[in-house]
Every structure is written in structure tokens, then in C-alpha cells.
Structure 1
Amino acid sequence: MPRYLLKRLPSALLVLALASFVVFSILRLIPGDPASSLAGPDASAETVAAIRTRLGLDEPLFTQYAHWLGDLVRGDLGPSYAIGGDTASLIGDGLAATAQLTLGALVLVVLIGGALGIAGATARRGWVRGTVRAVTTGALAVPPYVTGVLLVLVFAVGLGVLPPGGHASFLDAPDLAVQYLLLPALCLALPSAAILGRYLKDGIEHALTEDYVRTAKAAGVAPRRLLWRHAVPNALPPVVTLLGMQTGHLLGGAVLVEAIFAWPGLGRLAEQGLTRRDYPVVQDLLLLLVAVFVVVQLLTDLVYAWLDPRIRWE
């Protein structure tokens, strides 16, 4: 495994380097000037120029890029332009809330997707298969912002069993934190759960048609044992790869879901940084998301190799 990790490290660093350049460049193409936003609409040209000099925005773009990378290597994210405070503290606070939402959604993806996949592959009654197909199709077809509104109308307004939005810490009030987490996590998880359920269903159905399964069935092996000891384990490797990819989608989708449910995570921070042209916050935040995605993909490959003995650590 160490050799495998060392082999993958250069490509991961290359992805991060390219991502840093793309993030830095795209932000400069967005209309608007941080100095003008900070100075206000009635500021003089001299005031705007002084702010640009203080922030280093009057330097050549390559120099600004080099300074930013140098600060990142030293672990110095610097101060925020417009939001206020230290960039590292702002991202750290938002990251804790977004990680909580993403992990909660990931648990629901595994539970709901696993149940849909197994039920769709093993159900003998047609109405069960039809229900699974309808649920997965609806979860994929309905946009998250519509799902979020429907969940709020049903569970918060209609039934009154869950809060419509907000956030609580698991350390301070775990029971309240679960209540705040359920609706946004479910909204975020449903599309990924539907995709995972379909992949798992197809994988189990394919495994159940293999010769060794038919031989075991003819020998009198119980259907439940065939399912859990043979079909499900053989269907897991591609599902694990898909789950790793969906983790990245969950991080990206959290931006919209956080806005719907007033969740104080990285999505709200990104929205504030973009509207106020806060380059340090947005740059570091986007690069962090890329880094998380790269790490998740690496861990996914490791788990895939652990599940599939045909893959060697090379």
C-alpha cells in the first residue's frame, strides 16, 4: 500500500496545482473589483487605488499567484478582504457544519440506496419493484431545491415534527442537532441514494446469474446466504467507486441545500465571498473542496482494492 500511495501522490499534487491556477484565474475573470466594493460607490479614485495597493491587487497577476501559493505552503491563509476575520477561522467554522451535513447525507445515501438496491434486486412481487423504480426515478428527476421545499412543507409546516431550518452542535445538544440535520441531509442524499440503489440493484442481479451462484443454489444453499455472502460482496466494488464520486457531488450540492435550510456551512461562506469579491476566502475554499475530493477518490481506490483481491497494490 505505501508504494501505491507514493505512486498516486504526484498525480494528486498535479491536480491540486492545476486547480489552484484555474481557481485563481477564474476569479479574476468575474466582473467586479474587491477594492471598489470595499471603498463604496462614492469613493474617490485615490481611495480605490490605495486599497488596491494595500491588498496587493496592483501587483502583476503572476506575482499575486506566487504570493498566494507561498502563503498556502506556509499554512498562512491571511485575512479576509470583506467578510472580516481570519480566513482560516472562517473556513474552519464553515467546514465543521458542512462536514456534519455531508456525513449525515452520506449515511442516508448508504442506508436508503442499499435498501432500494437490495429490494429492487430480490423482490418477487411486481409492486415492490415498481415502487423502487418510481422512488429512484422521482429522486433523480426532482431538483434538490424542489425536494427541500416539499420536505419543509410536509415535515415542518404540515406535521410540525422537524424544524424548517437552522443548525445545532452535536457537542452541545445532540438530540436537537439530529432534528436540524435530518431534513437537509435527506434533501442532499436522495439523488445520490437513487443512483447508488440502481447500481447496487444491477450488480446484485448480475451476481445472482453467475454460474457459481446457480451451482450453490442447486446444492441447496439458502437464498439469504447466497445474497449476503456472495451477491452483495461481489456487487460492492463498483458501488464503492460510485459512492466516492457521489461524495464529491454531495459537497457541491451542499451549497444549494445550505441556502434552503439556513445551514451555516461552506456554501453560505462561498456565497458571501463571491458577492463581496473576497478573493482569499473563495480561493482557499474552492481549493479545499478540490483537495477533499482528491483525498476521497484516493480512499475510494484503496477500499476498492481491499474489496477486490484481483487488484494488486501497484
Structure 2
Amino acid sequence: MTTVTKTRVGGGDLLWVAWRTHRTSILVTSGLVALAAVGMAVVSRYFVAWASSLNYPTYRVLEQFSSIGLLFALAAGMFWGAPLVAREYELRTHLLAWGQDVSASRWLAGQVALLGAVTACLAALAGVVSGVMLERVPKMGVDTIRVFERNVFEAAPQVQVGCALFAFALGVAVGALTRRTLPAMAITGIGFLGVGEVLARWGREHYLPPVRSFEAWSPVHHPLVPFTALPVDSGYADANGVPMGDQDWGCGGRNGIEPVECLRAHGAAGRYADYQPAERVELFRWIESGIFLVLAAGLLLLAWYWLRRARRV
């Protein structure tokens, strides 16, 4: 009788260990996300049917519901990512999990592969349902929506997947650095919300050079920025369309001088506005998703490097 000895733990074994460790939370979370998706779809149909009898603008309600998927991204980072490594250190189970057969980096790869895949799938599901809800808005008599509004922009599946993977990777990296679960969860939540705020307020409008519109002085003013566009900047420009910057010329109608005549005297030939057109929204979503994915990859590399370094010191 020949005895077969398995000398190396394979990738399938690592995935099986990860599944046995997290199967309860994965199944419960998947069920909750699926239930929420069904609920969102039913609610959107209800609002479409009863839009005329509701006082609050129903399309605004759907826009708010469409951002619920981002709550899953936050939860994935705080409750899956942050405790992944930190809890091993706190419970001292890393002394058993990371032995001669399984290094810390290989163990991390198995855990991240499973939880990362589940995170991406659930985030994509939330994004698809959010998109379906927003597609119902025109049926309510609303011709257009502001596609660059934060909760509408971030409802797309690719953005939701990028956000969720970034939050998860941030939690893993912070947990590896701090080795404490609760601090890692707090830092992950604050960091995820902070990065999202920075991109939404100051980064998104600069993904591509904006479009500039100019209007010379005239008795009738026309909108320079389309309703669905993302405003970037506005002000006064000279005859060549070059912005003149913020100037304190005192042209507010004081001293009996008409504001337009005052501005003309200082060389202003009209008004200008910079904006991102709505046609770019899908490209911008892919750009933002790419930013999140690059950040996620960098954070996972940091966690991998830190674990290897921690094993040596």
C-alpha cells in the first residue's frame, strides 16, 4: 500500500479555508443584499405607479435609494476588510494560521481572493438594481436628471464595484498596520468616506479638460451650462475668451455706474462658464472606478508587504 503525502497546500485549499471561515457572514450578507435589491425594485415600481398621488418628488426618493449600494461598500470595508488581519493578531490565531505550510502572504491571498470576489459581485448587483431604479425616473414625467449628482453618478455598477473593493482593501491594509480591530474599523470608515468626498468635490470635475462656453454682453442672458452638466468654473472673460480672474473692481452698481458698463471699462467682454457635459458621464464613471481599483491594488500590496515584513521582525 502506497501512502501519498501532500507536501504543499494549494490555492484551492486556501480558498476552502477562507470559505469555512467566512461562510456564515458571506451567506447572511448575500441574503441581505439580495433582499434589499428586491425591495428596491418593488419600491421603485410602487413609486412609479403612485407618483401622481405623492407630494414629495418621487424621482428624488429613487435617487436617494440608488445610493444605498454604497452602504454595502462601507460595510465591506469595516466588517470584512478591517477585521481580516487585525482579528488574527488580537486572537493570536496567526501563530497557527501562518506556519511552515502556509505563509502569511499566501494565507492573505486566499482570504482576499474569496472575500474580494464576493464583494465585487454583491456591489455589481447593487449597482445594477440602482441603475434600473433610475431608469424609471423618465416614466414619472421627469425628462432629465442631473447625471453628475453624487448619488446618481455613483449608482453605476462599475463605480459601486470600485468603491467596494477600495473600501475592502483599505480595511485589510489598515488592519494589518494597526493589528487592532476596532481602531481599524473606525479608520477604514473615516478613510473611505474621506476619499469619496475628495473625489466627488474636487477630483471628478477635473478628469478631463472642461468645455467652455462664452456669451458676450447682451440684454438677454442665456444659460451657459446645460441642466445635466457638471459646472466647473464661471466668471468674466476678455474679448479672446480668456478668464480675467477674481477682480475687485467695485462693479456692483454703486456710485451710479451700471455693472455691465463698469465691467466693460475693465476689459470684460462677457461671461464664461466651464463645465463637463453629460455625454462624458460614462467615461467619468470608468475613470473613477479605475482610480478606486488602482488604490485598492496599492493597499493590498501594502498589506502583503507589511505581513511579509512583520514575519521577519
TM-score of the pair, normalised by structure 2? 0.28
Specify which structure has the bigger relative contact order, considering alpha-carbon pairs within 8 angstroms and separated by 6 or more residues.
1
The structure that is helix-richer by fraction is 1
* Structure with a larger share of its residues in strand: 2
**Who wins on radius of gyration, i.e. which is larger?**
2
TM-score scaled by length of structure 1 = 0.28
